[in-house]
Chain A
Amino acid sequence: MDETSSQPGSLAALNDVTLVRQIADRQPEALSELYDRYAATLLGLARRILGTTADAEEVLQEVFVHVWNQGGRYDAGRSSVSTWLVLIARSRAIDRLRSRKVIERTHDAAQHEGPFEHTSPEGAENVFIQERRKRVRREMENLPAEQREVLELAFYQGLTQTQIASAADIPLGTVKTRTLLAMKKLRHALRDEIRELL
């Protein structure tokens, strides 16, 4: 194992793309570092989609097992590592959400678990991720409620625009307009964050 990469301090200094490359080279310390950076965000995403922590943790584990096994297939030309991980987690979580078994379990668990418990690991989280979180949260809150609603229905529930129009009882054209406006505003508002990811 490379001496530099085996040192925890040097691993923490590496960027995401380098970590994925080391993961592709079968270095578990790189996997551990990437996990620490994004596990809380990805678990929050999976729990938002699935509604239960148990199912969300299964998805989280699947995501990092996938990264360990398929890290060599990551294409930096397609997306940043952060977005890659988010989209894997979202896809896996929505797959589970669509299975009847998980839907039933989600319904039962939602009645027993009560409201979400905030277990933020912010104290140990990467300071830059904390900053990103604050900015994204602020910009999402700045979106008009109806625009945020269609965006969240598409992203967290995996609904198509036609399904959103039916669920929200609004015309399809209105769904498209609101989605386009929301995406443009977010892209503009988060341009600095996006630039850092490129």
Chain B
Amino acid sequence: MSDDIHDHDEDRTILATLKALERGLDSLEPAARPGDAGETLARLYTETLGLIPFALDPVAPSAAVRERLMALATGDETQEMSRPAPAPPLPTAPTAPAAPTVQTVQTVQATPTVPRPGRAAVAGSTRTPFPPLPIPPRPRAARRWPLALAAGLVLALLGVSGKLYMDLRQQSGLLTVDATRIDQLERELAGERLRSAQISAARADVDSLRSHFAELEKMFSLVTSPTVEMSALRPTGQVDLAKEARGRLYIAEDHQHWYLSVEDLQPSGKGRQYELWFYGDQGPVSGGTFTAEPGQPVHLSSETMPLGTKAILITLEPASGVPAPSGPTVLRGMPPVKVL
């Protein structure tokens, strides 16, 4: 024995051997090297453990256990293996009687020539083609691992399914949220488009108003200018549409800018229009055409006036347009005078 081994190593070996005992038979350490011949501490303590049950009282097994075992070993597999003790005596195969063999061996055991069990020796042997014995079912090892495996698989499937279900629910929730968000955004976009259109329209109105205001401002500036001249327009009586009509033409100091305002002029009728004419050195020149609405004044202006304008007329003309006055004169301009 290895008495010189340090106690610490020995303690570790003992604890490791006990740990191996907890894990099962396959964890026991073999001899370290072929030459050790079992002299390792682990082997010594394994054998120590193996001796412990010899302190117990031996218990003689029932004959039925031996009979079933030997019947199976000699090829008679009709013996029951699952419950040895309470089973009634079972038939023995005629070709391989177990009981006589047992009796013979037991008789020999009582003789003084019994060897010391466990001491090494070698004996010859022959092979007999017996089939392996069926191992009785072990309730723990044989039945539990498939159940444990199945349970593990079921748990794994449940886990995966649950994860997928949760993912799908989450994705579905996200999609619902996204769809709701998209609807909201679409509504907001439609509102923005409407507001944009309204703003554009308002902006156009503002632009129009600004333009109109600018025009009015110019007209006001022209009309209120200290140098402005005004020519009053009076009906000629040639057309009933202008019996009550009257107008004023304001002419700037430069004799280019002008502003015309006509009130109470009746609509010209279908296919006809009113036209302003300037008579100057080169004959009549059109200052523009217009229509009239009941109760609405007419305003016209321009930044150009023919040079040498001496007379102003408004005539009723065909809507198709004419190069020179051809219809009746509606209003005639008086000689311009200083207003202020």
**Chain A contact residues, CB within 8 Å of chain B:** 1-2, 4-5, 8-18, 21-22, 25-29, 31-33, 35-37, 39-45, 47-48, 53-54, 56-58, 60-62, 64-66, 68-69, 75-84, 86-92, 95-96, 98-99, 101-102, 116, 118-129, 132-133, 136-137, 139-141, 151, 154-155, 158, 160-161, 176, 179-180, 183-184, 186-187, 190-191, 193-194, 196-198
Contact = CB atoms under 8 A, between A and B. Distances in A.
B55 A124 contact: no
Interface of B: 1, 10-11, 14-15, 18, 21-22, 24-25, 28-31, 34, 37-39, 43-62, 65-66, 68-70, 72-74, 81-86, 101-102, 104-111, 113-130, 132-136, 138-141
Contacts of B117: 15-16, 37, 81-82, 126, 128-129
Nearest to A130: B58
B-side binding surface: helix, strand, loop or mixed?
Answer: loop
A79 to B, nearest CB: 5
A5 B116 contact: no
Nearest to A186: B48
Nearest to B29: A78
11 contacts: A12-B109, A32-B70, A32-B102, A43-B61, A48-B56, A58-B83, A61-B68, A84-B25, A87-B25, A136-B55, A186-B51
Nearest to B121: A15
A161 B82 CA distance: 34
Contact of A27 (B55, B104, B126): B126
A95 B127 CA distance: 33
Given A91-B24, A95-B141, A179-B18, A136 B69 contact: no
Contact of A197 (B31, B50, B132): B50
Contacts of B43: 78-79, 198
Contacts of B50: 79-80, 82-84, 86-87, 197
A148 B39 CA distance: 25
Contacts of B46: 78-79, 83
Contacts, number: 312
Contact of A98 (B68, B133, B140): B140
B113 A13 contact: yes
A1 to B, nearest CB: 5
B30 A75 contact: yes
Given A4-B124, A57-B85, A60-B65, A183 B57 contact: no
Given A61-B84, A83-B50, 20 more contacts: A5-B124, A13-B113, A15-B120, A18-B123, A21-B125, A26-B127, A29-B101, A54-B85, A57-B85, A65-B135, A66-B135, A75-B30, A86-B49, A95-B138, A120-B59, A128-B116, A140-B55, A179-B14, A180-B11, A198-B43
Contacts of B15: 176, 179-180
A79 B125 contact: no
B14 to A, nearest CB: 5
A134 B74 CA distance: 35
A25 B73 contact: no
B59 A40 contact: yes
B29 to A, nearest CB: 7
Complex A-B, nearest 10 residue pairs according to Cβ-Cβ distance, in ascending order = A83-B50, A40-B58, A28-B73, A45-B53, A121-B60, A2-B126, A136-B54, A140-B55, A18-B123, A77-B31
Contacts of B65: 39, 57, 60-61
Contact of B66 (A18, A25, A35, A101): A35
B242 to A, nearest CB: 122
Contact of B47 (A96, A102, A123, A198): A198
A35 B69 contact: yes
A38 B14 CA distance: 26
Contacts of B105: 8, 11-12, 29, 32-33, 36
Contacts of A69: 132-133, 135
Given A44-B57, A54-B85, A187-B45, A154 B138 contact: no
Most buried by A among B52, B65, B70, B81: B52
A155 B55 CA distance: 12
Contact of B60 (A5, A40, A58): A40
